[in-house]
Structure 1
Amino acid sequence: MPTVPLDPDQRAAVDHREGPCLVLAGPGSGKTRVIVERFLALDGEGVAPEQQLVLTYTVKAAGEMRERAEAAHGVFRGEVPLTNFHSFGRRVLRQWGWLIGVPPTFHIADAAERWLHLDAVLTELQPRSLWNPLRPHDLISALLGLIEDAKQELITPDAYAAWCERRRPTLADPVEAALLERHAECAAVYAALIERYRRAAVLDYDDCILLAEQLIREHPAARAAVCDPLAFVMVDEYQDTNYAQARLVEALTANRNLLVVADDDQAIYKFRGASLVNLNRFQRLYPEGRTVVLGRNYRSTRQIVATGQGLIAAAAPETRVTKRLASTRGEGTPVELWQAPDERSEVMAVARECRRLIDANAAATGIAWLFRRHADMRAAMAALQEVGVPYQVRGGGGYFQQPEIKRLLALLSAVHDPGDSQAVLRCLTLPAWRVSNRARLALVDACRGHDVALHALLLDGAIGELDEADQAVARRCAADLLELHGRSLDEDVRTLLHDAVAASGFLGILEFDRDLERIQAGANLNKFYELLDAFADWGTDLRLGPALHYLEILRDSGTADDVAAIDPVEDSVSLLTAHSAKGLEWPVVFIAGCVESRWPGRGGFPARLGLPDELVPEPPPPGDGVIDEERRLFYVAATRARDRLILCAATRYPRSYADERLSPFLAAPAGRNGAPRPVPVPYAPPALQPRPRPAAGLVRERVPVGVRDLRDFNDCPRRYEYRRRYRIPVQRSPQQLYGELVHGVLEAAAMMRLAGGDAGPEEIAALWQSSWAAAHGPKGAQPQLREYGEQQLRRYVESDAWREATILEVERDFTLPLDAADLRGRFDRIDAAGGGARVVVDYKTGPVRDVDSVGRDLQVRAYAVALAQREASDEVAVEVHHLQTGEVARVDFDAPRLRRAFGHLSARTAELAAAWRERSFPPRPAAHRCRGCDFRIVCDEGREAL
């Protein structure tokens, strides 16, 4: 924890105890520190972590707080008391959802799956005002937004429909009657979507909040189990909560010991349902509550703080709480406003300044370039490439336009329809089917000159311009595609894709020379396989044709258009949107496009279907909500800078209809202290020859390591590199699916026992059959696993290992700090042993192993050391429960054995961390090792070993 003393305002918030408290915290005022310090102070006074709950808006914020708290407190036992809203709601539903009909095996639908479920509902219902057969997808996004709004306002389908019925007899105006009919259709679609979710055991993120609030409000048993242990609740970023989240917090805090931290000036998520009215509601519900204002900014210089204050002070008074923020740092350099003649001149000026700063030994990671939208980044990326500055785009669209994804789609298109000559032509660039450039030109000419598909010409060998080698490769390509096409008529697309990739030799990463590009390509390919897994979860026909239709819908709807996220890259400039920048900070920040057409923009915000005002529990504040939120977003962007802030604008952009005007948000600071200093930017002529993008370094100080990573690295470093560094996708086997399903069923059964329910043979069999039926993995290859799994689970729950167990925790993550890396894993189960001791239980579906073999297992040693650290004990035990027989292999660890295990784990992780630093992952070829390796098709040494 920081050694700098708390300032008086921070101390007042940390020392607050009984009753409600609102902490208004401006940018850089130490709000995270206040929450963590208060949490630790309460713990020091005897309020155990499990008696506290800290709720955050994002997973990232929860992780940061947890790391800070555990650094001072040590690893938490039991449920992690610092979490985000949706994770907390999901946890409550896993344990108590069965009371309202939510199965413990539910899964969370992502944006694409929600879109597809709603598409299916509309196709089935065909509501007159919401569905057009010629353009069936036009209103899906708007309807999803309406349903999200309804859930976030705790409006059920029944309440929505009842409002329509009450209104119908009172309307005489035909226009209003037509609008009411549309509302009725929206309510019907909402109800049908919920029913479809129920049948598929699916929830979305908003359901996690809505249903958790319903559980706690309506069911005394759940309320007592969840709320009674909580003595204190804290909420971060309260201005970003929606009505449902606020009601959940209120339900959790009957004792009124609630502290919320907020900054109304940073409320930028209205499009996600966040509502400033929650601050007003808090003050109305808790009139006796205390208000503490954190008025000192520890992040930015006085010049930057003054500019930020000028920006936000011009907002309508009724939309914010007036407060002053003072910098504790020096005056700093003035904020600058760079004004360029056109977009290229603007971006080249910024790129050259980045180059100058890096050449002067500034860290590239200390520079951020912020944009209103991802689409505004293209010119900036080209400019950075031109001057040789490494960069990383955080997030961003264009996933289906990435070269590796386009080639993968071309491969699948050619398999689906070998008559697609363009797709076949692209396949002839893949490694195993690659023909010469001269041959490809000849094939293009042949396609023009023949009224026959290229695939048929290749099979016939009718293209005389190809030499013998190219003819052989092209004929093999055509034959492979034909064979794969035949299999596509009845085979799971995931198996087909795996075999098509193997036949073509296409892995997607080897075509790139630079490490960063390989890592990004690997992540994108991994996402492609995840999309196909989501398709399997959603659909019933898992063949190639429906899968391609699914991918086409994803591409057209934009629900999966973000490129895959990769770990932050060292030594590179960050390019990201203002929304993505919230919660982050950099020494140097550039804000692009500070003109009226971008800040606040000319409109074009996504159209939303609106809920009836009468149904919304809390009316929104007055004013122009869009403009007010855009101003707050600009303020968030400006306050990310620590030492230097540069605002950039151009007179003309590619789509400018006339000279651009500066953003009206800059008018306020212009006449006060902190006004940006104008800096003219010279004209930059067009580039003659762009320089290639340099490779950014991937040096990490601490590498996150999983237990399987250690196994892979020990066995073959090259395999680890392919699996974890480049994330090359691999096909899931029936055995892997089987293991995942068994673990999921046992987790659900253990949660039922923790909630006071029964989980005997009949209950476990029902859970298994439900999970097997809902799963869409490669189970068809071995259908006998369905019966085998039920038999195995019945046998296990009838054994003493289950019946006599005192289960304390289920599926609990752990982090074990070692010298060179953090080892991460998950306990399947933690049971109580005699005398208050704890024992880790690990389920194994594979062959039975003897105790000596189990004791040497890396995973078992990691479990033992992690449990010993968590329990502060030098005597722990790990039990491996073999589900095939019900036998238990127990390994006891005393202090010497724990020291040896810790030393072994530390040595192995140090070797892995060194490999990352040196980028050295040599293969260890051997027939027994390479025969079953997932990556043997791309590993030359592995193929030679076979």
Structure 2
Amino acid sequence: MEGLPPIDFRGELNAEQFAAVTSRPGPALVLAGAGSGKTRTLTYRVAWLLHQGARPWDILLLTFTNKSAKEMLERVEDLTGVPRGQFWGGTFHSIGQRILRRNAAAAGRQPDFTILDQKESEQLFSEVVKETDGAFIKDKTNPKAAVILDAYSHARNTLRPLEEVLTERLDWMKGGPDKLLAFCARYEARKAEGNLCDFDDLLALWLKVLETDPAALAHYRQRFQHILVDEFQDTNRLQSRIIDLLGDRHQIMAVGDDAQCIYTWRGADWENIMAFPQRHPGTEFHHIDTNYRSTPEILAFANEILRHRPKVDGFDRRLLAVRPAGPAPTVFTVGDTSQQAKLVGRKILQLHNEGHAFGDIHVLYRAHYQSLELQMELTNLGIPFVITSGHKFFDLIHVKDVLAHLRFVHNPRDQVALSRLLCLLPKVGPVAANRITQAAQEVEAAQGRGLVRALRDPAVLRKVPETAKDDFNDLTITLEDMLEGLEAARAKPAPTNPAPDLFTAATEASSVKVARTPAETTRVCIEGWYGTHLKTLFPDWRDREQDLTGLLGFAAKFEDLGDLVAQVALLNGESSDKKAEPEEDMLRLTTIHQSKGLEFPIVFLLGVADGLLPLTRAIDDGDVEEERRLFYVACTRAENMLFLFAPRFAVSGEGYRPLDPCRFLEEMSPDCYELADYAHRRL
């Protein structure tokens, strides 16, 4: 392309980047390690192609986020002066919709089709279920639209048989998948009738166009002389199939890092990057391992993680350091997760007093519930923090639902809590909830049975909408069970010689443990009506169950339900009005998944123990390699300092649960980190 400003590619790139940027047009797999300048490599590759005569519209650049697409195209425009609008660059879904509008007939749509967002898709699916089988939606044990739609989406993105996925993911549902298959078929028909596309259609119908319209396939194969794919390890089978069809001449450069494939739970297929050389013969490997982010000590630790993963030819790598030396990563062994929170809080204050900004410190964890005790400790210490991966723990919807159960059985006059519970029922809104509450209050006044038991009266049930009666009955049974357990616990005499603390109780089998009534009450709630409600309502119910397990551990710290409810209110009151302003110095808390692609001066990693990282569920399922990759991703976020915390016990509803040492740490050389043993110290 003529008129481009000169670029000193060799001078502006390191040797690894230069080799990848200037490689031949054939298939290339660029394995770019953490912090190695992947975006820079892709940007200069586009500029190089333009300098070699390619036209902007000959290049297809596929990314996973609008932010990364915008950033790359802006950099290309700055480098070359070519307006970003001349490129075919963007997310898979944005490119898919452009192609569908040009080939709408082959996709079974009109060019002016409407794209549904997630809520609109769920609403349409709900309408389909009601139209197809009205009784299905009334059965409280059946999955709601969002859960079915999530399984359908997974099947489409992984190109797996729908019946197989429905059977696998909804194995708890009674009956076979026949009705669900009918719902999905009708959902497809309704979208076609209304000229609608959901988010998955932007890829699924794109593939349909390529597979069923030879002219369209030939056109785009000719159009895209160069295909560049970012974060290739995160592609699913549907995306990989599209790329393979377009790249019939293997004119593909895939850029990614197999060690950072951490999204298989949402359809990403690790095999896509591993099998790329087999699908595209003659693939050139390019390793970009020079890391500009982290100190040599942090990289030595990360390399130890890589060293113990399964070996695959061509994929062995070792991150190379260019920065000056810094402190070695420190592994703190602690007695339990409560001590972990205290030590993290103390260490953060120490760093802040030494001149480090709170905003330079990020705390990472495998699952949201693992940050609960730290959130409490930070609030007590007055350390400002923000959770960048979502809401604070006690603001999570499912946690607030369970807390509403606890609040109501503790104080039956808490109409706010009761209204929240009633509004969880189908067809019950604030007005209906108020009618039910008034009826229960009248029964209570007449019979003196207490409001919890008054809810079970037939006079109250008559105020409940017909479609909600079964759920209401189960809810009130759960509430009564919680109340009876609470009353029994109150009547039970206190032990004469309780253990001084739970750590001692867990290690001394002969000691008398204090009854943790709030934990028992919470468990009745979770295992009762709400547990079923959770499973049918939320596609990610397994993750939410983990959060509620964390709530059990929190409840185990209290001997009185009133103290538990009051403490939650105080914690929320002290922190709910805090918001992260750009100029405000605040500590950041986030999950490892949400931290991917980011970098932080100082990283604290919580819960480095089997059962927490890797998660128990992953161990049971035999899927620890993705957990290893998560461990690697977490550690490679750190620029200057890395602190890891390895608790020996976790608090659960039954008391203290022993944790095995993290298998990833156990296999690593102790020379790559410093060990600080706090397990037997009191903080």
Same fold (TM over 0.5): yes
Report the Cα offset of residue 583 of structure 1: 0.5
Partners of 1:53 and 1:282 lie apart in 2 by 18
Q: C-alpha separation between the residues in 2 aligned to 1:353 and 1:74? A: 48
CA drift at 1:353: 2.1
- 2:594 maps to which of 560, 580, 585: 580
Change (3 A) 1:658 1:419: closer
Q: How far did residue 75 of structure 1 move?
A: 7.2
One of 141, 151, 155 as aligned partner of 1:150? 155
Report the AA paired with residue 589 of structure 2: L
Q: Which runs of 5+ in 2 are unaligned?
A: 1-6, 168-172, 405-415, 449-532, 548-575
Asked if residue 350 in structure 1 is aligned to residue 331 in structure 2, the reply is no
Does 2:572 correspond to 1:591?
Answer: no
Matched position secondary structure for 2:641:
strand
**Of residues 67, 70, 74 in structure 2, which corresponds to 1:63?**
70
Q: For residue 277 of structure 1, what is the aligned residue in structure 2?
A: 271
Match 1:368 to one of 362, 365, 372: 362
Equivalent residue number for residue 749 of structure 1: none
* 1:674 corresponding residue in structure 2: 672
Would you say the 8 A contact 2:26–2:283 is kept in 1?
Answer: yes
Listed as ranges, the matches of 1:195-594 within 5 Å are: 195-223=189-217, 226-317=220-311, 321-396=315-390, 398-400=395-397, 413-415=429-431, 418-419=434-435, 556-557=537-538, 569-570=582-583, 571-594=585-608
Q: CA deviation at 1:448?
A: 7.0
Give, in angstroms, the shift of residue 244 of structure 1: 1.2
Determine helix, strand or coil for the equivalent of 2:142: coil
Deviations 1:703-758, CA, capped at 9 Å, x for gaps: xxxxxxxxxxxxxxxxxxxxxxxxxxxxxxxxxxxxxxxxxxxxxxxxxxxxxxxx
CA contact (8 A) 1:586 1:640 kept: yes
Alignment of 1:905-916 (within 5 A): none
TM-score by length of 2: 0.67
The one-letter amino acid of 1:647's match is L
Assess if the C-alpha contact under 8 Å between 2:328 and 2:674 holds in 1: yes
Q: 1:67 to 1:625 in 2, by over 3 A?
A: farther
Q: 1:80 to 1:347 in 2, by over 3 A?
A: farther
Classify the secondary structure of the residue corresponding to 1:152.
Answer: helix
AA aligned opposite 2:226:
F
The CA deviation at 1:146 is 4.1
Q: What is aligned with 1:649?
A: 646
Structure 2 distance, partners of 1:628, 1:582, is 17
SS at match of 1:299: coil
Structure 1: which 5+ residue stretches go unaligned? 165-178, 424-443, 453-551, 607-623, 686-946
Distance, in Å, in 2 between the alignment partners of 1:137 and 1:650 is 37
Equivalent pair of 1:338/1:648 in contact (CA under 8 Å): yes
The offset of 1:582, in angstroms, is 0.6
Judge conservation of contact 1:40–1:73 (CA < 8 Å) in 2: yes
> What is the CA distance between 1:144 and its match in structure 2?
4.0
Q: CA deviation at 1:605?
A: 9.8
> 1:646 and 1:108, CA in 2 relative to 1: closer, same or farther beyond 3 A?
farther
Query: Compared with structure 1, are the counterparts of its residues 18 and 604 closer, same or farther at alpha carbon in structure 2 (3 Å cutoff)?
Result: closer
SS of the residue 1:317 aligns to? coil
Structure 1 counterpart of 2:623: 626
> For residues 8 and 381 of structure 2, what CA distance do their matches in structure 1 show?
39
Give, as a single letter, the amino acid of the residue that structure 2 aligns with 1:597: G
Name 1:27's counterpart in structure 2: 34
- What residue is the counterpart of 2:139 in the other structure? 133
d(CA) in 2 for partners of 1:134, 1:283: 49
Aligned partners of 2:344, 2:8: CA distance in 1, in Å?
35
Write the distance in 1 (CA, Å) between the matches of 2:536 and 2:354: 43
Instruction: Quote the offset at 1:603 in angstroms.
Output: 1.4
Sort the Cα spacing of 1:660 and 1:2 in 2 relative to 1 into closer, same or farther, 3 A. Answer: farther
Structure 1 residue 110: Cα displacement: 4.3
Quote the residue 2:664 is aligned against. 665
What does the per-residue CA deviation read over 1:165-188, in whole Å, with 9 as the maximum and x for residues that have no partner?
xxxxxxxxxxxxxx9x94666544
Secondary structure in structure 2 of the residue aligned to 1:603 = helix
Q: Distance in 2 between matches of 1:86 and 1:566?
A: 32
Which residue does 1:636 correspond to in 2?
Answer: 633
The 1:8/1:281 distance shift into structure 2, 3 A limit, reads same
Look up the SS of the partner of 2:380 in the other structure.
helix
Mapped contact 2:618–2:627 kept (Cα < 8 A): no
Q: CA RMSD in A?
A: 4.3
CA distance in 2, matches of 1:103, 1:682: 69
* Aligned match of 1:14: 21
Query: Deviation of residue 211 (structure 1)?
Result: 1.1
Contact kept in structure 2, 1:154 and 1:210, CA below 8 Å: no
Cα deviation for residue 22 of structure 1 reads: 0.7
Distance 1:365 1:268, change over 3 A: same
- Normalised to the residue count of structure 1, the TM-score between the two structures is 0.50
Preserved contact between residue 602 and residue 638 of structure 2 (Cα < 8 Å) = yes
Shift of 1:402: 9.9
Shift, 1:15, TM fit: 0.6
Seen in structure 2, the aligned counterparts of structure 1 residues 605 and 400 have a Cα distance that, compared at 3 Å, is farther
**Which structure has more RCO (C-alpha within 8 Å, separation ≥ 6)?**
2
The structural deviation recorded for 1:450 is 7.9
| Partner-residue secondary structure (3-state), 1:599 | coil
- Which has the larger displacement, 378-387 or 186-195? 186-195
Letter of the structure 2 residue corresponding to residue 584 of structure 1: L
